[in-house]
Structure 1
Amino acid sequence: MPIQHSTELTLTKSLQPKLSQNSKRLKRRSSSELITNDVAVPTKQQKISHESIDPFIDITRLRIPSTPLGCLSPGASFKGIQRSGWQSYHVKVDIQDVSITNSQASGYLTIDGLTRNQPTITTFFTAEIIGNKYGFRTSKYDATASDDLRHWSKFEAFKRITKKDDNKMTYDLLKDFTHTRAIFMRWKEYFCVPDSSIKDIPGASFDGFYYVCIDLDCPPTSLSNCHPSVPSSGPHLSGYYFHPHSEPFQELNLRELPKTTSDTFEFR
């Protein structure tokens, strides 16, 4: 015991110079800022900007605000069917986040009845919105320029905006969304939810991607015959799944569902 006490006393004496040095670091530079260990801590009166925040210190102050584009907004849902040959499957899409500034969106795609072992499959996807950042040419996912043209040309909205343009794959076509009555996207599925470790399901594949168009001027359809809860009018979402080794032109036909929540989703 005495040995332990003498050791503690020796350690205490050895730490005194360091403690006194650390105490000297506490000083005031101005009435609005306290410097602690050389790190500036703003007071309540000081306005905090995103640039002044260290995300490793206070990540709760950072926000990535959603910027919706018409019916493409956080909380929006679309419901309908996907056709593959003679088969059709019920599909629901839930949009989680939209950033027009970054030309990106994300959400969940749920399909029923695709496989026997797993009757309901939900995947997380991200979307590239065609515009300033992303063009109609895919240049990835094993899609060629010919594949792009064949799939985009199936959308009536694409035909409307390109009928006077000789180059149907022009990158600058959609720089101004305000003059466009359609939203073009590419959707890429990444993993299943809630178990994100599932990357492969027998009888199902999400190795490819979807060419997608939300047509704001689409006439009413008969989707309600297949899906009684789907409105017959409103924004129409259509899409075509592409993978070089899958059946071509597997078609999505969805309608927007009436909203029951407000656009308050944010990723941090």
Structure 2
Amino acid sequence: MPVRVLESSTPSQVSGANSGHTSFQACTLLGVGQAFSGTQNVSSLQKDEAWRVNVRIQGCDLEHGYLCGTMEALNVPMADTPVVTFWEGEIVDTKNYTFFTGKWEATPEDDIRHWTKFQSFSPLMGQVEADGGKSLDLSNYPYIFMRWKEQYFVNVGTDCGLTIAGFYYVCFSCSDGSISGFYYDPNSRFSSFSYCPFQKLELKSTNDGRSGFSFPSYELQ
């Protein structure tokens, strides 16, 4: 379902290229221990396919625009067990991180192409094209934009047939805790797997961070 942006939540613009000092208010649905569940569409030209996905937030530091967690992918065809990865995230707060990635082989054009797939990004487009969104105040915006970069496999080896070379562009809804994301893999054009270029991640909050859902226990090194 398309995300609807309320007129009253249009971000304000702060004067000066370096004066964006966004500090997100604590969001109860983006706290340590919060769990999410949903799917990742990995359909190719040959077949439709979706993996069931569970995510849990292990750490969150809004002041520094940082969060981390685990992602568990189930029913992965080339794996005998669920595949768990550890990821670290960057929160686009215009202070620590902007909408321009500047690494992981992502160009500004790649960034814009992915961010514009979120309808909630539309009101920000003009300013992001101008300066990466540095002069936007997103502190009261009802959506939080992030990048999630998987760092390593937790429970399987690197020979599992999957890649973590790319990263996710993520949009988080502060109102209901839902998450939409699109995966960017700079190596996809050379991959033997003909996955669609925009693998879509769709997750919903499954608890309040304290009860109601649990993952298997994994030791993170």
| TM-score, scaled relative to structure 2 | 0.72
Rate the CA distance shift 1:216–1:260 in 2: closer, same or farther, 3 A: closer
Mapped pair 1:146 → 2:109: yes
1:112 is the counterpart of 2:74 = yes
Q: Report the counterpart of residue 101 of structure 1 in structure 2.
A: 63
Number of paired residues? 175
Cα distance in 1 between the residues matched to 2:113 and 2:153: 29
Max Rg structure: 1
* Cα offsets for 1:207-240 (capped at 9, x unmatched): 11100010235xxxxxxxxxxxxxxxx3220101
CA displacement 1:1-21 (0-9 Å, x = unmatched): xxxxxxxxxxxxxxxxxxxxx
Task: Name the CA distance, whole Å, in 2 between partners of 1:260 and 1:100.
Answer: 17
Distance 1:239 1:215 in 2: 12
Residues 153/100 of structure 1: CA separation in 2 closer, same or farther (3 Å cut): same
Do the aligned residues in 2 keep the contact of 1:151 with 1:211 (CA within 8 Å)?
Answer: yes
Kindly provide the amino acid, as one letter, of the partner of residue 77 in structure 1.
A
**Cross-structure match for 1:202:** 160
- The residue aligned with 2:151 is 190
Match of 1:171 among 127, 134, 139: 134
1:244 aligned partner, one-letter code: P
Question: Gapped runs of 5+ residues in structure 1?
Answer: 1-66, 218-233, 263-268
Answer yes or no: is the 8 Å Cα contact 1:114–1:204 preserved in 2: no
User: Does the CA-based 8 Å contact 1:186-1:209 persist in structure 2?
Assistant: yes
Deviations 1:36-73 (CA, angstroms, capped at 9, x unpaired): xxxxxxxxxxxxxxxxxxxxxxxxxxxxxxx9434111
- The question of whether the paired residues in 2 share the 8 Å contact of 1:212 and 1:238 is answered with yes
Distance 1:241 1:71, change over 3 A: same
Change (3 A) 1:88 1:100: same
State the 1:201 CA deviation: 3.3
CA spacing shift, 1:150–1:123, aligned 2, 3 Å? same
Deviation at 1:127, TM superposition (A): 0.4
Structure 2 residue 31 is the aligned partner of structure 1 residue 73: yes
Cα separation, 2, equivalents of 1:144 and 1:102: 23
Measured in 1, the distance between the counterparts of 2:129 and 2:102 equals 21
Q: Paired residue for 1:250?
A: 199
Q: Counting helix residues as a fraction of each chain, which structure ranks higher?
A: 1
Quick one: structure 1 residues 236 and 260, their matched pair in 2 at CA, closer, same or farther if it must change by over 3 Å? Answer: closer
Per-residue deviation, residues 60-113 of structure 1 (Å, max 9, x unmatched): xxxxxxx94341111111110000122101001000111011100000000012
Alpha-carbon distance in structure 2 between the residues aligned to 1:160 and 1:252: 22
Which structure 2 residue ranges, 5 or more long, are not aligned?
1-24, 189-194, 212-221
CA 1:182–1:260 in 2, change beyond 3 Å: closer, same or farther? closer
1:160 is paired with a residue of what secondary structure? helix
Residue 192 of structure 1 and its aligned partner are, at CA, apart by: 1.6
Is residue 2:81 matched to residue 1:123?
A: no
Higher RCO, 1 vs 2 (CA within 8 Å, ≥6 residues apart): 2
TM-score, normalization: structure 1?
A: 0.60
